[in-house]
Structure 1
Amino acid sequence: MADPDLSKLKIDRSAMAPAQRRRRPWLRYAIIAVVILVLAGIGLKLAGPQTVETATVTSAYPSQNFTLLNATGYVVPQRKAAVASKAQGRLEWLGVLEGSRVKKDEIIARIESRDVEASAAQARAQVQVAEANLALQQAELRDADVNLRRSKELLAPAAISQQQYDSDLARYNKARASISNSEASITSAKANARAAEVAVEQTVVRAPFDGVVLIKHANVGDNITPFSAAADTKGAIVTIADMSTLEVEADVAESNIAKITVEQPCEVLLDALPNLRQEGRVSRIVPTVDRSKATVLVKIRFVDRDPRVLPDMSAKIAFLSKPVAPAENKPLTAIQPSAVVERDGKPVVFLVQDGRAKQAPVTRGAKIGELLAVQGVKPGDVVVLAPSEKLGDGSKVSVAKK
């Protein structure tokens, strides 16, 4: 048996080499593509929006720099009255509504008065009766006086008896006494008539002072009983306030009352009129402490009250160390100081607009409390707080949730 040819089992490596060399470039390209994708992802991640904290540009007043103390309170009228009638009865006429302006002594309502008017007519008739009795007694006195004079003339020659003279004298004295009694009756009758007229007048309700009707408590047909609390009755008819006496009442903590003095300047800001700041003065400090709240009641009068100010409006009061000058009574644009940074040696802020930071140059002003007055932005703009060096004009930003 012949030996096998082992040379045929030899692997021809020269034939495989070209195939391997053909496959290696594809592997290299795949690795390069993966690296490019990774770098692109990292780049996209780095180019994503920066998370920033923001604040809103606001308006501030220079008076904040010399504010000693802040308090809250309400507008109240110093002169206010619940108007009713002293007479009891059914309300038959009401001539005002809420908001009606009234003058002092103006008739605003009437109570049913037929009964008291009848009593007044009866009292006037009693005066006439008393006056008629006086006239009768005066005639009697004149007659008695004539008889007495005649008796005196006849007594001297003894033409009449002493008894007759004494009788005529007694008649004269009785007539004089009757005159005094009739005059007293007339005075009493007139007093009763006046009382009846007052009772009639009390059915007419008049305004006690110039003012404005705040509340209407009763309607026509209601029974008015000002001195009792009967069921389904009303005490007051309307409540009137003198709008010229409006003032602000504020509760101040007793620990801060030493900072307040009478005639101290104040600035009053009403919640209903946020753009209106009014000058005030401390009118008086009530000399007692509310034990439950540990506060002292302070009353502030308006120096120049705006006609839009109404009772019971809530107010904020700033107690100042000096009066507000006219130049300091205008608002300034202010922001948090940390929003202003230096770029190329100039102060700038970054506004947040449509998800991007927009660089805006500003001019620094004075400090207003914790804020900084600036020019170049407007109230309502949103700015980035403490912008980093990486933040540039046009950078994408996202606002951090608070």
Structure 2
Amino acid sequence: MENTDLSRLTLSRDIPRPRRRRWPLLLGVLILAAALFAWWFTAKRAIPVQSTRVTLAWPSQALTVINATGYVTAARKASVASKASGRLEWLGVTEGSRVRAGEVIARLENADLLAQVRQAEANVRVAKGQREQAAAEWRDAARALARARELFARRFLAESALDAALAREDKARAALASSEAALAAAQAALANVRVLLDYTAIRAPFDGVVLSKHANVGDVITPFTSALEAKGAVVTLADMSTLEVEADVSESNLQAVKVGQPCEIQLDAIPDARFTGRVSRIVPTVDRTKATVLVKVAFDRLDQRVLPDMAAKVAFLSRPLRAQEHQPRPALPAAAVMRRDGRAVVLRIDKGRAREVPVTLGESLGDLVVIDGGLSPGETVVLHPGTLRDGSRVRIAEKE
């Protein structure tokens, strides 16, 4: 048997492995690096610029002498109550209800007063009956006195009988006068009870709108006392046709305000509208704590959207606004406009590039200039464009 070489039976550890495909990963890395380089290169080339937006400017800005703040109030306003005291039986209004002058808006319990009215009416009827009876007795006594005088003139009646007839007529006349006085007293008592009854019906003193409700059915109304859990006024009523703005004007600026001066009113609740008005009166008192004087501005035309206690800004103008000055107009800072080739242009920022846009300029409003054509409100333009050209790549510089 031949000797066998067992060393040849060893297994080789260098087994070839399949090679992985790494090129897709390398390609992705290269694409990402190229994109980052392109972004970096583009960002480096973009010129940093300051920007501004086309806004809506009101022509009154150029006419404003001073500005003041205040609130809308009603010149005619009342807390409606009753002179009578009692429990609230009926309430016919709520917040926002419109009422007419003399309209019954609430009523107190009045069963006791109704009974007193009926009793007073009965007393009047009794007094009228007594007066009729006294009048009948006086007429009878007057006829008897006339006959007695006639008979006495003919010597058919003694003087004592004439005196008795005269005395009877005097008593009858006095009784009639007393009965008439009693009737007047009964009628006065009836009128007094009816007034008390009318006090239980709470009426609107003028045309207006209910601003707030202070009592509900079942509450005790005691306007002249401070009883526990009792209510005073039932509702607060305002005449909406007397709305005005009460503005606080610094006493140092008071010389710039005068009665009749035109004003423009802006309400925080209605920012897209401006209202015209005039100074109606200046209250001749200075508030020491604020060093201000109260100036009341009346609306030229009231709007149904205007409500009491709205916050208001008042611009006191140097002259009344013209018809074409009541609407806002597109405007931007004058520093954004430049002259090129004999025309006014601005550089609008559009997708990272400056685009030259010809514009038509209007009048100046302080630091702003009106744009009559070429741009729309809200568009972004370059501020201080300098030598920047049309098509230049730009980026808005961050404000420090």
Bin for the TM-score computed over the shorter chain: 0.7 to 0.9
Partner letter of residue 195 of structure 2? V
Q: Map 1:133-148; keep pairs closer than 5 Å.
A: 133-148=130-145
Q: Give the one of 51, 73, 76 matched to 2:73.
A: 76
Superposed counterparts of 1:14-93, under 5 Å: 44=41, 47-93=44-90
Q: Which has the higher mean CA deviation after the structures are superposed, 360-369 or 307-316? A: 360-369
Q: Can you list the C-alpha shifts for 1:235-285, whole angstroms capped at 9, x where unaligned?
A: 111112111111111111111111112111111111111221122111111
Q: Which residue of 388, 392, 395 corresponds with 2:393?
A: 395
Instruction: Please state how far the C-alpha of 1:161 moved relative to its aligned partner.
Output: 6.0
User: In 1, Cα distance between the equivalents of 2:354 and 2:224?
Assistant: 72
Moved more, 350-359 or 190-199: 350-359
Change (3 A) 1:344 1:142: closer
Deviation at 1:205, TM superposition (A): 1.5
Match for 2:378 among 372, 377, 380?
Answer: 380
In the alignment, is residue 196 of structure 1 matched against residue 226 of structure 2?
no
Measure how far apart 1:167 and its partner are. Answer: 3.9
AA matched with 1:100 = S
What do the CA deviations read for 1:173-225 (whole angstroms, capped 9, x no partner)?
A: 22211111111111111011011111111111121111111112211111111
Unaligned stretches of 5+ residues in structure 1:
1-39
Whichever of the two has the greater Rg, that structure is: 1
Q: Is the counterpart of residue 259 in structure 1 residue 256 in structure 2?
A: yes
Q: Could you tell me how far apart the structure 2 residues matched to 1:336 and 1:145 are?
A: 105
Q: Is residue 2:215 matched to residue 1:221?
A: no
Distance 2:43 2:110 in 1: 91
Question: What is the identity, as a one-letter code, of the residue corresponding to 1:366?
Answer: E
Deviates more, 1:71-80 or 1:145-154: 145-154
Q: Distance in 2 between matches of 1:155 and 1:330?
A: 103
1:46 and 1:183 mapped to 2: Cα distance? Answer: 110
1:299 matches 2:274: no
Cα distance, 1:233–1:353 mapped onto 2, change above 3 Å: farther
What one-letter code is carried by the residue in structure 2 that aligns with 1:298? V
TM-score (norm 2): 0.82
Instruction: Return closer, same or farther for 1:282/1:344 CA change in 2, 3 Å cut-off.
Output: same
When residues 46 and 111 of structure 1 are mapped into structure 2, their CA distance, relative to the original with a 3 A threshold, is: closer
- In the TM superposition, 1:3-402 aligns within 5 A as 44=41, 47-149=44-146, 151-152=148-149, 163-342=160-339, 346-374=343-371, 375-387=373-385, 389=387, 393-402=391-400
Q: Secondary structure at the match of 1:199?
A: helix
CA distance in 1, matches of 2:228, 2:50: 63
The residue aligned with 1:12 is: none
- Number of the residue aligned with 2:15: none
Query: Are the equivalent residues in 1 in contact too, given 2:45–2:393 (CA < 8 A)?
Result: no
**For residues 364 and 169 of structure 1, what CA distance do their matches in structure 2 show?**
109
Q: Do the aligned residues in 2 keep the contact of 1:49 with 1:398 (CA within 8 Å)?
A: no
**Greater displacement, 143-152 / 49-58:** 143-152
C-alpha change, 1:363 and 1:157, in structure 2 (3 Å) is closer
- For the 8 Å contact 1:106–1:207, the answer to whether it is kept is yes
Q: Deviations over 1:311-332 (max 9, x none)?
A: 1111111111111101122222
User: What secondary structure, in the 3-state scheme, does the structure 2 residue paired with 1:281 have?
Assistant: strand
Q: Structure 2 vs 1, CA of residues 231 and 394 (structure 1 numbering), >3 Å: closer, same or farther?
A: farther
1:125 Cα deviation (Å)? 1.3
The match for 1:17 is none
One-letter code aligned to 1:237:
V
- How far the C-alpha of 1:112 sits from its partner, in A, is 0.9
TM-score (normalised: structure 1): 0.82
CA deviation profile, 1:300-358 (whole Å, cap 9, x unmatched): 11112222211111111111111110112222211122222456665433334455544
State the Cα deviation string for residues 115-145 of structure 1 (Å, max 9, x = none): 1111111111111121122122223323433
Q: Unaligned stretches of 5+ in structure 2?
A: 1-36
**Does structure 1 conserve the Cα–Cα contact (< 8 Å) formed by 2:51 and 2:396?**
no
Superposed CA deviations along residues 337-391 of structure 1, whole A, max 9, x for unmatched, are: 2222456665433334455544433333321111122232222222332235467
- Farther-moved stretch of structure 1 (333-342 vs 266-275): 333-342
Alpha carbons 1:212, 1:241 under 8 Å: kept = yes
Secondary structure of the 2:377 match is: coil
Tell me if the contact between 1:217 and 1:238 (Cα under 8 Å) persists in the aligned partners: yes
Q: Cα RMSD between the aligned structures?
A: 2.6
Quick check: 166-175 or 319-328, which moved more?
166-175
Q: Name the count of aligned residue pairs.
A: 362
